[in-house]
Chains A and B, each alone.
Chain A
Amino acid sequence: MRLAFFSPLPPAPTGIADYSIDVLHALASHHAIDVFHDQPNVDAERLPPSVRHFPAAELDGLWQANPYDLAIYQMGNGAAHQYVYPFLARRSGLLVLHDLVLHHSRAQAFLDSPEARAYAALPSCAERRRAAAECLDRYRAEVEYSYPGRGARIADAQLGTSGVLLPYAYPLFRLPVEASRLVACHNDFMVAAVRADVPESDPVRIPMMTAAAPVPRDHVRALRGRLGIGDDEIVVGSFGLLTREKRIETVARAVARAAALQPRLRLLLVGPLPGAAALERQLREHGVADRTIVTGRVPHEELGVHMQAADIVAHLRYPTARETSAALLHVLAQGRPTIVSDLEQWADIPRDAVVRVPLDDEEDALTRAIGVLAQSRQERDALGRSATRFIAEAHSARRCREAYLSAIEIAARRPPASPRASWPAHWQIVVP
């Protein structure tokens, strides 16, 4: 089949870009794939040779010249995926939902629109005010459609107050799901949630592909040496984009408390960090700045050795968009003993493969877990073995590829979703 594949690509700063590279390599020998993106630069060397890439603006022309059999959309709760929305209703396809919660980025698309910015720059201009109001009305219409009878209050609360939790309670995925032929998610919780909200969607699950990166032992020793980590020091690592949801402050406090009994504890933070100064201040406040190493973003090919440099991994998440965490699967693939937040969407991870901390006892449980694991090499090794076994069985490239091929077949057999009269007006798009 000819597939139109929508996704951010490296070097876009999103894990989904790296994920899509893996998926494209898995599918390239089965289908002819063109990737459509919305970024100025693409690291084309990482693409399979047969896969072409184009700006999304060229899709309609290419489609009309030589129609694709199916569009595949990689959708997440980030600005990098906003360009996909106009195509969802026009070219109904297979929606791969990485995050259940899309509200944050969708609201931002309207609040940060050119019309809204223009009005903010000149509030006296009635014309600009009208254009901005129309833009916000589209956002309100989407919220009202998804949450009938509550849309106005939700939109007002979102626009007029601060705080991060409200969008998590109102995920705003209904329209993208209804516009799709088929929806695929990476975990059972999301599948059930989509099905509960849109029963006719009948979503499917596609395991997220993960494989351990081979890392020579001497590379790990060398890296620890470069980072100033002693042989007898126990490193607690946290990997991925260091956002508020990763609860780095909680990890820092837990390490500080555990270090009272385990003085040789170190903290290793690996990943892009939005606010270096704020993080530094937090680490100082909790007294762990001197035992913490912050690497910032590391090249994709070096992630494995950095993960192996950690003796224990702390992978907290709150609030959660119910995503399957690629970073978590990666550390498990590397056989790292990992402490995770006890979240419903991670329920399929075997009990013996991770240590879970409940959300209502996060810091205390994490502190205890770090203390126990730091003292027991045997427990760490047992966790690591179970983790690698789980990943090899449940997240192999073969399983992912088969699930994708099956989802593609199912989606291609289904008719495109028809625009519904009840959809907001800006979703009533006619295919050119």
Chain B
Amino acid sequence: MSEGLEIEKLRARLEEEERRYAQLLAALDGLASFSLPFEARPALPEKLKELNEAWRTVPPPGGHKPGAFWARRVRGAVAPALEHQEHFNAVAVQVLNDFIDESAALDARLRDVVAAIVHYAQTVLPTIDARDRMATALATTRSELILETFDRRQETLARRIDALATSGDPALTRTPLPLLFLDLRQGEAVSVLDSQGGGSLGTVSADVTDGPAPAVLTAAYRALRPGGVLRLQPGSGVSVDALRTAVQNAGFTDVQVEPRGSVDALAPIPTDGLPAATAQALNENVARLNALLGHSRDTTLTARR
């Protein structure tokens, strides 16, 4: 039985969403890996140190050498510009330091945020799965309750049938109806019996027309359950004794040979004192009556597996 159209559509949509989700996670994973400025430019801290040390202008010349006076006079003339430059350098270096520090902090924060987003994306699916399972658990509780009720009822019914079967009433055995052989040849009977499960039949009943058939008896033995009944009606010309022996050799027990009917046969009418033709006619009718009641010289052989 194929799934409903709705479930197929849902399944196709789910597969597409899962594919997109996996792509998103993979992309996020890739984006989550990036270096901070100090990691990408390992020389940067050293250069920053250099800059911090190099922002000052050249110190004024000192000493009393002949050129020192004029050097100091020239320096005095350009001192304001130098002081301005030094001030600029100091501010620039300070701004650069601050900027680099803040950038590093921002980049680190950014990396934390990305990691959190990736982690969130990785846990969303399990969370949704947990919610989904909770919802299905609630939904399936109803079906479980119905199934449990049905299952318990089935078990009780099966046990009741078992109890009736073991009470000895053959009409209430759990096994299928007896298998009747109607115009089946011996080979067909064997194949039909072999197609049954071993120990699956309660009764096997057959008309025997060609004498004992060991293959049929063996197949019947296998197909009957322990305690199952074999019932054979030997036709004219079939030796009942030979059939009885064959049935016993096949493993059956409790072999009984009984008249076919269950009603007592009418006894022949005594012919003493009757005209011969009258006695013959009466006893012919007795024979016909017995035949209608199911009696003849024919017998039924029963046995148990």
Contact = CB atoms under 8 A, between A and B. Distances in A.
Interface of A: 120, 122-124, 126, 129, 149, 153, 160-165, 168, 192, 195-196, 199, 202, 318-319, 342-344, 347, 356, 358-362
A123 B25 contact: yes
A356 B147 CA distance: 22
A126 B152 contact: no
Contact of A196 (B3, B122, B136, B197): B197
A28 B25 CA distance: 59
A162 B122 contact: no
A347 B159 contact: yes
A124 B121 contact: yes
B156 A126 contact: no
B126 interface: yes
B26 A124 contact: yes
A346 to B, nearest CB: 10
B137 A162 contact: yes
A362 B197 CA distance: 34
A407 B133 CA distance: 45
Contacts of A162: 133, 136-137, 140
Interface of B: 1, 3, 22, 25-26, 28-29, 121-122, 125-126, 133, 136-137, 139-141, 143-144, 147-149, 151-153, 155-156, 158-159, 162, 197-199
7 contacts: A123-B125, A163-B141, A165-B148, A202-B198, A343-B159, A344-B162, A359-B153
Given A120-B126, A318-B152, A165 B144 contact: yes
Contacts of A124: 22, 25-26, 28-29, 121-122
A358 B156 contact: yes
Nearest to A157: B140
Given A149-B1, A163-B141, A359-B152, 5 more contacts: A124-B25, A124-B29, A165-B151, A344-B155, A360-B152
A231 B143 CA distance: 46
A195 B125 contact: no
B289 to A, nearest CB: 47
Nearest to A344: B158
Contact of A195 (B122, B139, B144, B198): B198
Contacts of A362: 152
Contacts of B199: 192, 195
B162 A347 contact: yes
Nearest to A120: B126
A342 B122 contact: no
A342 B156 contact: yes
Nearest to A122: B122
Contacts of B136: 160-162
A327 to B, nearest CB: 20
A202 B199 CA distance: 10
The residue in A126, A165, A192 that gathers the most chain B C-beta atoms within 10 A of its C-beta is A165
Given A123-B125, A124-B26, A129-B22, A163 B156 contact: no
B87 to A, nearest CB: 54
B144 A163 contact: yes
B143 A163 contact: yes
Contacts of B1: 149, 153
A168 B140 CA distance: 16
Contact of A126 (B22, B121, B126, B133): B22
A342 B137 contact: no
Contacts of A123: 25, 122, 125-126
B42 to A, nearest CB: 31
B197 to A, nearest CB: 6
Contact of B198 (A199, A342, A359): A199
B197 A195 contact: yes
Contacts of B25: 123-124
A319 B151 contact: yes
A342 B155 contact: yes
A161 B140 contact: yes
Contact of B155 (A126, A165, A343): A343
Nearest to A358: B156
B22 A359 contact: no
A342 B159 contact: yes
A177 to B, nearest CB: 15
A344 to B, nearest CB: 6
Nearest to B123: A123
Nearest to A346: B159
Nearest to B147: A165
Nearest to A202: B198
Contacts of A199: 197-198
Nearest to A152: B3
Contacts of B29: 124
